[in-house]
C-alpha cells in the first residue's frame, strides 16, 4: 500500500493530502461539491417557483391607495364626492332644483398636469353622482355622433316605418354646462418628492353665460426615499 505525504500550507495553515504516486484528492472534492450543489438546486427550485408565482387578490375599491404620488383612485373618489356635495348644497343651486330638474351637459375635464390621467373617468364619476341625486337631467355629448347616425338611418334609409321613427328636432337642449380642469405643481429633490393637485369645477348658464357655481379641491401628496434607497 502506497504511503501518503502531507504538505503544510504556510499561508493558509491548511494541510493537503497527495499520494506518493502523484494522485491527489482534488477530483473527489470537486465531485462532492458538484453533487452538493446539484442537490441544493434541486431542493430550492420548487421553492423559488412557488414564491415567484403570481397571486391575484381582490381589494376594496374605496380603500386608500398610497402606491405613489400620482393622481389615483382615492383622489378621484374624494374629489368627485366633494365637488358633488358642494354643488348640491350651494344655495342658488338648491333654489334652482326645487322647481324642476335642470338639464346639464358636462364637458370633459381638462388635464393640465404632466401625468397621464383618465379625466373621462373623473367626468363619468361626477355625472353619475349628480344623476343619482335626482336633481338634474343630462345630455350625453359623447353620444351625439351615434345619435345623429341613428336618426339619419331611421329617417333616410327607408327601412324604418315612418310612424315608428324618432322625430328629428325634438331633443331637449341643455341649459347649464359643467366643466373644469385638473392642474398640479411638482417639487422634488434627491430625498423627497411633493405633488400639489388642484381640481376646479364650474357650472355656467348657457343662455346668460353667468357662472352659477364654482369650487375647488386641493390635494397634497409627498414621498420620502428611505436611507437605504428602498
Give the pLDDT confidence of 111-141 residue by residue, as tens digits: 998 888 888 888 888 999 999 999 999 998 8
The band of 7, judged by pLDDT with boundaries at 50, 70 and 90, is: very low
Q: Distance between CA atoms of 126 and 199, rounded to whole angstroms? A: 12
Q: For residue 8, what are the β-bridge partners?
A: 15
Look up residue 141 and give its DSSP letter: G
3-state DSSP assignment of residue 63: coil
- The pTM of the full predicted model, rounded to 2 decimals, is 0.66
Q: Grid coordinates in use for 122?
A: 373623473
Q: Distance between CA atoms of 195 and 208, rounded to whole angstroms? A: 37
How big is the CA angle at 127 (ends 122 and 128), to the nearest 5 degrees? 95
Q: Which CATH superfamily is domain 73-139+174-224 in?
A: ABC-type transport auxiliary lipoprotein component (3.40.50.10610)
Task: Tell me if 81 sits within 8 A of 201, measured CB to CB.
Answer: no
Residue 35: per-residue pLDDT: 78
What residue segments make up the domains of the chain, in order of their start? Answer: 4-44, 73-139+174-224, 142-171
Each residue of 55-108: pLDDT tens digit? 766 545 455 555 555 666 777 788 889 999 999 999 999 999 998 999 999 998
The band of 142, judged by pLDDT with boundaries at 50, 70 and 90, is: confident
Q: For residue 202, what are the β-bridge partners?
A: 179, 214
How big is the CA angle at 18 (ends 12 and 19), to the nearest 5 degrees? 165
Amino acid at each position: 500500500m502506497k504511503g501518503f505525504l502531507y504538505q503544510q500550507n504556510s499561508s493558509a495553515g491548511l494541510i493537503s493530502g497527495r499520494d506518493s504516486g502523484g494522485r491527489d484528492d482534488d477530483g473527489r472534492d470537486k465531485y462532492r461539491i458538484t453533487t452538493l450543489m446539484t442537490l441544493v438546486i434541486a431542493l430550492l427550485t420548487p421553492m423559488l417557483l412557488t414564491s415567484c408565482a403570481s397571486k391575484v387578490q381582490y381589494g376594496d375599491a374605496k380603500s386608500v391607495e398610497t402606491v405613489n404620488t400620482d393622481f389615483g383612485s382615492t383622489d378621484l373618489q374624494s374629489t368627485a364626492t366633494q365637488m358633488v356635495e358642494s354643488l348640491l348644497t350651494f344655495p342658488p343651486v338648491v333654489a334652482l332644483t326645487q322647481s324642476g330638474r335642470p338639464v346639464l351637459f358636462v364637458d370633459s375635464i381638462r388635464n393640465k398636469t404632466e401625468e397621464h390621467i383618465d379625466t373621462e373617468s373623473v367626468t363619468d364619476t361626477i355625472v353619475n353622482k349628480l344623476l343619482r341625486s335626482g336633481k338634474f337631467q343630462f345630455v350625453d355629448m359623447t353620444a351625439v355622433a351615434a345619435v345623429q347616425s341613428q336618426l339619419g338611418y331611421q329617417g333616410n334609409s327607408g327601412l324604418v316605418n315612418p310612424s315608428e321613427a324618432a322625430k328629428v328636432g325634438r331633443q331637449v337642449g341643455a341649459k347649464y354646462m359643467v366643466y373644469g380642469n385638473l392642474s398640479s405643481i411638482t417639487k422634488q429633490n434627491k430625498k423627497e418628492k411633493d405633488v400639489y393637485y388642484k381640481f376646479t369645477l364650474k357650472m355656467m348658464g348657457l343662455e346668460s353665460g353667468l357662472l352659477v357655481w364654482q369650487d375647488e379641491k386641493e390635494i397634497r401628496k409627498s414621498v420620502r426615499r428611505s436611507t437605504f434607497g428602498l
